[in-house]
C-alpha cells in the first residue's frame, strides 16, 4: 500500500512539473499575414490599360477599357515576379487587360492598396471588385482557371481558386 501511495505522489509531481514547464514555454513568434485588396478603383489603372476594340458583342467596355483587369504587383528586384508576368500576359484579350505594376515605378499604387508582398496578382471585375488573388507565383492553370471562373462563375470545377 505504501508503494502505491508513493507511486501516486510521484505521478502527481510529474504532472505538476510538466504543466509548469509547458506554461513557461514562450509563445511562437507571430507570422505575417498578407492580404490582397478587396476592391480596386479602375481609374487608378486607366493609364496602364490599353483600350481595346471590343469585338465580342457579349462584352461591355468600361469607359473604353476592357471589363476585366489582371493586375500584377511586382518589383524589379523580385525574381519570382518575372515568372508571374508571362503567365498573366497570356490572359490579355479583348475582354481582359493585364497590367504590370512595378513598385519602383508605381509606389503610389502599392501604398494605396496596402501591397506589402510581391508578386501579388489580382483579378478585378468591371466594378473593381477583386474576384481572385494570388500571393506568390501561381501555376498558369490556376491563374487561367481563376480568371475564367471570375468571368463566368461555375465554368470551372475548382471555383475556389484564387480565394
pTM value is 0.71
Please tell me the predicted confidence (pLDDT) of residue 58: 43
Please tell me the predicted confidence (pLDDT) of residue 56: 41
What sections of the chain are H helices per DSSP? 2-24, 79-89, 107-112, 140-151
Please tell me the predicted confidence (pLDDT) of residue 150: 87
**What is the rounded distance in angstroms from the CA atom of residue 116 to the CA atom of residue 130?**
17
Spatial strand order in the sheet of 130-135: 96-102, 68-74, 120-124, 130-135
Going by C-beta distance under 8 Å and a sequence separation of 6 or more, which residues neighbour residue 151?
68, 95, 96
Q: What are phi and psi of 113, to 5 degrees?
A: -100, 10
Map out the domains of the chain with their CATH numbers: 42-151 (3.40.30.10)
CB 162 within 8 A of CB 124: no
Question: Would you write out the chain's pLDDT as a tens digit for each of its 163 residues?
Answer: 788 778 888 888 888 888 877 777 777 777 667 889 999 999 898 777 755 433 344 444 445 568 899 999 999 999 999 999 999 999 998 889 999 999 999 999 999 999 999 999 999 999 999 999 999 999 999 999 999 898 888 776 665 555 5
Q: How many CB atoms lie within 10 A of CB 81?
A: 21
**What is the rounded distance in angstroms from the CA atom of residue 60 to the CA atom of residue 11?**
74
Amino acid at each position: 500500500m505504501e508503494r502505491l501511495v508513493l507511486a501516486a505522489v510521484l505521478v502527481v509531481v510529474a504532472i505538476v512539473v510538466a504543466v509548469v514547464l509547458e506554461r513557461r514555454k514562450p509563445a511562437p513568434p507571430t507570422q505575417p499575414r498578407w492580404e490582397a485588396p478587396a476592391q480596386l478603383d479602375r481609374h487608378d489603372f486607366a493609364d496602364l490599360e490599353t483600350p481595346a476594340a471590343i469585338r465580342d458583342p457579349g462584352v461591355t467596355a468600361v469607359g473604353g477599357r476592357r471589363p476585366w483587369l489582371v493586375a500584377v504587383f511586382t518589383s524589379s528586384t523580385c525574381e519570382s515576379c518575372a515568372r508571374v508576368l508571362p503567365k498573366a500576359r497570356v490572359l490579355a484579350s479583348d475582354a481582359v487587360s493585364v497590367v504590370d505594376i512595378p513598385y519602383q515605378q508605381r509606389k503610389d499604387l502599392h501604398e494605396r492598396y496596402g501591397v506589402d508582398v510581391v508578386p501579388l496578382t489580382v483579378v478585378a471585375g468591371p466594378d473593381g471588385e477583386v474576384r481572385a488573388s494570388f500571393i506568390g507565383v501561381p501555376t498558369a492553370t490556376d491563374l487561367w482557371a481563376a480568371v475564367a471562373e471570375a468571368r463566368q462563375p461555375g465554368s470551372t470545377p475548382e471555383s475556389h481558386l484564387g480565394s
